[in-house]
Structure 1
Amino acid sequence: MTAENMSVPAAELMIVGHFDKAPGYATRRPAGSPSWLMLWTQAGEGQVEQAGAAFTVRAGDLAVLGAGAPQRYRVAPGAASWRFWWVHFQPRPSWAAWLAPHALATDCHLVEGVPGDVRDRVDLA
């Protein structure tokens, strides 16, 4: 399944979902999204592209993508699947300092290898 120009929720909404996708799944938003997007990987691997950055996410990784920039994400080539939570949201201004050390590009962040005890708590939430 591929989603070209996939619709996104209104910027003022926060919406959450969970996907367990097989190879072939991809989402591409040439105009980006009016909201920010978090992708929390539980299992498998995904490939994410935004703002000139391209990276692979694995279990325990959190990708945070800013609004208004073209984005693409998919099951990583060679991966059997990608199980992840997604959240469209508007960040609080104070979060910028938390995200800054994880910036790969403007408004594109990767928090790699979240510790196991924290991952367990997130997965149970």
Structure 2
Amino acid sequence: MLTALTFVLFAYSAVLTVWGLVLAIRNTAAGPWLLGATAGMLALLVVQLIVSIVLWGRSADTDPLLFFGYLLTAMLLVPLAGFWAFAELSRWGPAVVAAAGITVFVMIERMDQIWL
């Protein structure tokens, strides 16, 4: 994993989590900006997938099933949270996005530990 991309993913998922929490606390539904930010998180995870495939040979001790399992799970979780937030017109839509953001944050940390 590239260190710069890892920090970008950390920062983006943290901002997405805080944004979702603020909207949930304010009892506001997820708007197009939050849903677009969720799509941006998915785009960053796709970039991470491409970078991981390209750099795969550099890390001989990395378990591919474990690493790509975490990555693909994160890539599946983000659009599901976005669809749920789009369908749920109460405060729970942004809360689901916040939960997905913190989950992706933890998964990125775990993928970074596996990669080393």
Structure 2-normalised TM-score? 0.28
More strand by share: 1
User: Which protein is bigger by CA-based radius of gyration?
Assistant: 2
More helix by share: 2
Which structure's relative contact order is higher, taking Cα pairs within 8 Å and 6+ residues apart?
2
